[in-house]
Amino acid sequence: MLHYLEMEDKVTSPEKAEEAKLKARYPHLGQKPGGSDFLRKRLQKGQKYFDSGDYNMAKAKMKNKQLPTAAPDKTEVTGDHIPTPQDLPQRKPSLVASKLAG
Amino acid sequence: MAISRGLAGRTVPEAADIISTVEFNHTGELLATGDKGGRVVIFQREPESKNAPHSQGEYDVYSTFQSHEPEFDYLKSLEIEEKINKIKWLPQQNAAHSLLSTNDKTIKLWKITERDKRPEGYNLKDEEGKLKDLSTVTSLQVPVLKPMDLMVEVSPRRVFANGHTYHINSISVNSDCETYMSADDLRINLWHLAITDRSFNIVDIKPANMEDLTEVITASEFHPHHCNLFVYSSSKGSLRLCDMRAAALCDKHSKLFEEPEDPSNRSFFSEIISSVSDVKFSHSGRYMLTRDYLTVKVWDLNMEARPIETYQVHDYLRSKLCSLYENDCIFDKFECAWNGSDSVIMTGAYNNFFRMFDRNTKRDVTLEASRESSKPRAVLKPRRVCVGGKRRRDDISVDSLDFTKKILHTAWHPAENIIAIAATNNLYIFQDKVNSEMH
């Protein structure tokens, strides 16, 4: 009887073994993966934040070359140098909590 | 077996070139692809040459156009991708061809026409279109239509905008040829092909409180013959068949298709891998085909309790779910397809592999879509993934599968054994020369 119970513990499905691996790496992972947090992140796909006012100002300045502009400082990101939406890095919402937070 | 013809892409794929949808038209004469850059490319099958009757028509580029452009929703600070999510052909009703293409937010109706004649011999204008000196005109002539080089013209006839708050995942033309539906994560709308300023909402699963959200719509399709029936699939693995005659708002399903889950087998991944990524009615209209992360399933419309057939696509991934969750591959949305006689089903997998299952013989095969493995006119060789244990010479081990090479989009010619496979930025068209009629 005891022997049979020991066998049960060792034979876990590959899926459950993978789940154990995941929980070991991310102990704070929520219990319900299909829950609303996951779905709401999915619904927010494609969200990029940028200031449309600054973007339009920058576009207007590029057209009108006579305006004095400061020498482009590659490290500074203000005013004329607001990145265009195409330049924005993709903000992928991370589902798994950062290891630093763990 | 099958003979291939690969169409080249760049060696380092540009994001815009990634093919995002593939669709044959109703006769199979035309094949449309959409890509991440918002472009549509249409291929046409060359008519069979009388001199070489065994050399069946191959597909050449017929037309290409920019369907969607990137947009910004300033109010919500949202970028709207130009990526073409789906293309659906309208049944051909005259000399022109029409198709619907959609990105996340806007559906467009495109009309494709051919021009092979032009009028010549105008009275007031010369050949270049410049006005003639009227003193040189001494007699009147009737302009005559003369043949010219074929020109394919594409024009946007309708733009169906502002119908969706969330991202459109499916469109489906009704068999009535007058209406079509579009589905996003939470809602399905019914449109008339001629009316762009309004649509009817027929399914709405948005909860009053978004924190109560438990499932989203993943795909939907109209029944091929019954214009009142449609199906939609969910992220929880269920299918709902709805009848538009029953109510204006089809929130209550007519039939719910769900496979009971074994509670002892439940894991963190169960719900994610049960999410249905694609649903397709059979040509007969009697069955439905669904794809979830690890299997394809055939459902009988007359039986809601469970699928009648289940085929394992790549069960060996079950022991890799942890890393597939970390690299997001577990959320990949694979499509599935029926052949013309509903006897064989096909779906894509990783490493540029795709799988076919014969429903009658119960045999299955794994094939590869890659430049190295398929020279033009070469016969495709079956591949095998080994899971440890005995390993044959050409087997690939699970650990050396390339998960960046995914075949998400596949299409089968409506009548013949011709398939179109999208492998990232490359399109492969395979033809079965030996058995060209379906059997």
Tell me the per-residue pLDDT of B187-210, one tens digit each, with 9 for 90 and over: 999 999 999 999 999 999 999 988
Contact of B326 with chain A, judged by CB distance below 8 Å, is answered with yes
Question: Would the pLDDT of B215 be above 70?
Answer: yes
Lowest mean pLDDT among A32-36, B13-17, B41-45, B419-423: A32-36
Q: Please give the average per-residue pLDDT across B93-110, as a whole number.
A: 97
- A90: nearest CA partner in chain B: B79
Average pLDDT of chain B? 90
Q: Please give the average per-residue pLDDT across B167-193, as a whole number.
A: 97
Nearest to B96 by CA among B113, B115, B109, B116: B113
pLDDT (tens digit per residue) in B75-94: 877 789 999 999 999 999 99
- B78: nearest CA partner in chain A: A47
Pairwise pLDDT comparison (B72 vs A79), residue with the higher score? B72
Cβ <8 Å between B81 and A46: yes
For B214, the closest of A35, A46, A86 (CB atoms) is A35
Nearest to B35 by CA among B437, B439, B427: B427
Question: Would the pLDDT of A89 be above 50?
Answer: yes
What confidence score (pLDDT) does residue B109 get?
Answer: 98
Helix ranges (H only) for B243-316 are 270-274
In the structure, what pLDDT confidence band is assigned to residue B113 with cuts at 50, 70 and 90? Answer: very high
pLDDT (tens digit per residue) in B284-316: 999 999 999 999 999 999 999 999 999 999 999
- Contact yes or no for B436/B56 (Cβ under 8 A): yes
Question: Would the pLDDT of B148 be above 70?
Answer: yes
Question: Would the pLDDT of B95 be above 80?
Answer: yes
For A36, the closest of B76, B104, B210 (CB atoms) is B210
Q: Please give the average per-residue pLDDT across B351-366, as a whole number.
A: 96
What confidence score (pLDDT) does residue B228 get?
Answer: 97
For A18, the closest of B167, B236, B322 (CB atoms) is B322
Close Cβ partners of B404 (under 8 Å, ≥ 6 residues apart): none
In the structure, what pLDDT confidence band is assigned to residue A97 with cuts at 50, 70 and 90? Answer: very low
Pairwise pLDDT comparison (A71 vs A54), residue with the higher score? A54
Nearest to B96 by CA among B144, B45, B38, B154: B154
Cβ <8 Å between A40 and B210: yes
Q: Calculate the alpha carbon distances from B19 to A21, B13, B157, B210, B281 in Å.
A: 34, 11, 24, 33, 23
| Chain A closest-CA separation from residue B265 CA (Å) | 8
- A18: nearest CA partner in chain B: B322
C-alpha span between B210 and B230 (Å, rounded) = 26
Question: Would the pLDDT of B326 be above 50?
Answer: yes
Cβ <8 Å between A18 and B320: yes
Q: Please give the average per-residue pLDDT across B354-372, as a whole number.
A: 94
pLDDT (tens digit per residue) in B377-430: 778 889 999 887 677 878 899 999 999 999 999 999 999 999 999 999 999 999
Residues on chain B touching A23 (C-beta within 8 angstroms): 268
C-alpha span between B221 and B232 (Å, rounded) = 7
Q: Please give the average per-residue pLDDT across B363-371, as a whole number.
A: 93
What confidence score (pLDDT) does residue B94 get?
Answer: 94
In the structure, what pLDDT confidence band is assigned to residue B335 with cuts at 50, 70 and 90? Answer: very high
In this prediction the pTM is 0.83
Residues on chain A touching B269 (C-beta within 8 angstroms): 15, 18-19, 33
What confidence score (pLDDT) does residue B374 get?
Answer: 66
C-alpha span between B415 and B409 (Å, rounded) = 19
Question: Would the pLDDT of B52 be above 50?
Answer: yes
Cβ <8 Å between A34 and B214: yes
Question: Would the pLDDT of B69 be above 80?
Answer: yes
ipTM, 2 dp: 0.71
In the structure, what pLDDT confidence band is assigned to residue B3 with cuts at 50, 70 and 90? Answer: very low
Q: Please give the average per-residue pLDDT across A55-71, as a whole number.
A: 60
